[in-house]
Structure 1
């Protein structure tokens, strides 16, 4: 099965949840669509959505929740199929 690497659109802190008291946008193993939000990147109190970028199954998060990312860093992998 081909694999798609989801990358951070910009540098900042990666969040898997919209807020600390809410569930994650997506879980590993879940089916996702290309335009589905799987996380957020925050820089200077501005948030950018991280989209799956491909239809398939979210196999793994490469980036840990609340980790600091650079632009283009890997966030997750999606099995396309």
Structure 2
């Protein structure tokens, strides 16, 4: 199992905008470089990209929840 973590503090978002589908959901296949969420800090949105290829096992943070650097956002089973 691999963890995708937040590189910065801010607010985590699972979708590009309210009412839009999430970037990824549990069971989805992800590739290296694929966007899995965004972290907003001071009105700037930073895409969080997967460093792994595999299957999304879980989203560990609720939408619009505060996050800190190193906090696990998404768990991926590699392969």
Q: 1:54 aligns with which of 52, 55, 59?
A: 52
User: Aligned residue for 1:6?
Assistant: 4
**Runs of 4+ residues deviating >3 angstroms:** none
CA distance in 1, matches of 2:12, 2:59: 11
Q: Aligned with 1:49: secondary structure?
A: strand
CA distance in 2, matches of 1:21, 1:77: 23
- Structure 2: gaps (5+ residues): none
Q: How many residues align?
A: 79
Let me know the Cα RMSD of the aligned residues. Answer: 0.7
Q: 1:17 aligns with which of 15, 18, 26?
A: 15
User: Aligned residue for 1:78?
Assistant: 76
- Structure 1: gaps (5+ residues): none
Shift of 1:52: 1.6
- TM-score (ref. length: structure 2): 0.96
Deviations 1:4-56 (A, max 9, x none): 10000200000001000211111111000010001000010001111121000
- TM-score (ref. length: structure 1): 0.94
